């Protein structure tokens, strides 16, 4: 894409304020001109951004701006929606995730997901963690793996005496950390988090945020959040999305406005819309 075909919402006019910055370090994802359609409706338009290894990248923006849609492209979760269709590329370590030969099941084994609402399986705590490794053909000591995963998720001490009890008996915060343990048990490369704390109280939120810092040496994390303080607290890079109303004024399409170091997004954003959003004047 040339500078003349300026992407809506992304100013490429001044080199100094190149809004779409590339993160430092090795890239895990390189998104190129990604558009997602639900049927005829385009949910996000021509997103380009790259995500670096062992960093926490936050996607922020008002409701309906395509953050979650974007996130669910990273592990091909949108495949489960019959009408969803993707244009453009998401290179994962250089391989396009949407190539024909790519198996979405394999993608999801490497790129795990934590959902907005804690969704433990209605089974025991142990079985929740062990399910992923089991289907992946894990041959080692399952008890150890379950313990390690729960420890990484900072949940072990709270549940070690009742691993065989139902996961649905845990509190919301514990359930969400169990979902994180379930996710890390398959030893993914990337963890996608879709507003993981929106159903949690501040104490549980704090625990999950601490946990993200603890595990970021091992994983690359992409998090969608509505909570700007959270994005500011936990992330290294932040992408601000917004929704553009199309000509007919009835559908909203998500666009990437600005992508930069978190500090910069929150202290000295380039785009006015970003500034309005992070200072609370909009959205």
Residues near other proteins (CB under 8 A)? 75, 77, 80, 82, 105-106, 108-110, 112-115, 117, 119-123, 131-132, 135-136, 166, 168, 179, 182-183, 185-186
The Cα–Cα gap between 144 and 138 comes to 12
Give min distance, CB of 169 to other proteins, in A: 10
Nearer CB in complex with other proteins: 1/135: 135
CB of 193 to other proteins, least distance (A): 11
Nearest Cα to 177, choosing from 149, 202, 198?
Answer: 149
Write the DSSP assignment of 70-127 as a string of letters. HHHHHTTGGGGSTTEEEEEEEEETTEETTSTT--HHHHHHHEEEE-SS----SSBHHH
State whether residue 198 is helix, strand or coil.
coil
For other proteins, give the closer residue by CB, 110 or 226. Answer: 110
CB of 108 to other proteins, least distance (A): 4
Nearer to other proteins, 170 or 228 (CB): 170
Report the residue number, 155 or 228, with the smaller CB distance to other proteins.
Answer: 155
User: Of 121 and 156, which has the nearer Cβ to other proteins?
Assistant: 121
- Angle CA 16–50–283, to nearest 5: 75
Tokens of 150: 């729960």
| Whole-number Å distance between alpha carbons of 262 and 217 | 18
Cα–Cα distance measured from residue 134 to residue 31, given in angstroms and rounded to the nearest whole number: 32
Least distance in Å: CB of 92 to other proteins? 14
Tell me how far, at minimum, the Cβ of 259 lies from other proteins, in Å. 25
Q: Cβ closer to other proteins: 31 or 193?
A: 193
Which residue is listed with tokens 């932040």? Answer: 238
Sign of the C-alpha dihedral computed for residues 136, 172, 125 and 180 taken in this order: positive
Q: Which is nearer to other proteins, 25 or 122 (CB)?
A: 122
DSSP codes, 219-271? -EEEEE-S-HHHHHHH-SEEEEEEEEE-TTSS-EEEEEEEEEEHHHHHHS-SS
The residue among 179 and 231 lying less far from other proteins, judged by its C-beta, is 179
d(CA 159, CA 230): 26
Q: How far is the CB of 113 from other proteins (least distance, A)?
A: 4
Least distance between other proteins and beta carbon 110 (Å): 8
* In the complex, least distance from residue 239 CB atom to other proteins, rounded to whole angstroms: 22
């Amino acid at each position: 894409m040339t500078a003349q075909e300026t992407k809506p919402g992304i100013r490429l006019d001044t080199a100094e304020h190149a809004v779409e910055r590339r993160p430092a370090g090795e890239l895990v994802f390189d998104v190129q001109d990604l558009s997602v359609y639900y049927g005829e409706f385009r949910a996000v338009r021509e997103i380009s951004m790259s995500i670096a290894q062992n960093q926490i990248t936050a996607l922020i923006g008002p409701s309906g701006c395509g953050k979650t849609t974007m996130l669910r492209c990273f592990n091909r979760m949108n495949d489960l929606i019959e009408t969803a269709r993707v244009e453009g590329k998401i290179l994962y370590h250089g391989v396009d995730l949407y190539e024909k030969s790519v198996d979405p099941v394999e993608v999801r084994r490497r790129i795990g997901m934590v959902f907005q609402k804690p969704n433990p399986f209605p089974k025991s705590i142990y079985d929740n963690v062990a399910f992923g490794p089991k289907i992946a053909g894990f041959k080692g000591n399952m008890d150890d793996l379950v313990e390690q995963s729960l420890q990484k998720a900072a949940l072990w001490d709270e549940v070690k005496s009742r691993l065989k009890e139902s996961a649905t008996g845990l509190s919301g915060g514990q359930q969400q950390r169990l979902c994180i343990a379930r996710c890390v048990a398959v030893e993914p490369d990337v963890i996608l988090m879709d507003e993981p704390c929106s159903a949690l109280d501040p104490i549980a939120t704090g625990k999950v945020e601490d946990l993200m810092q603890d595990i970021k040496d091992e994983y690359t994390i992409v998090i969608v959040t509505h909570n700007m303080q959270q994005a500011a607290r936990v992330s290294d890079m932040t992408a601000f999305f917004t929704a553009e109303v199309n000509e007919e004024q009835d559908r909203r399409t998500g666009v990437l406005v600005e992508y930069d170091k978190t500090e910069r997004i929150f202290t000295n954003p380039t785009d006015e819309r970003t500034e309005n959003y992070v200072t609370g004047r909009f959205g």
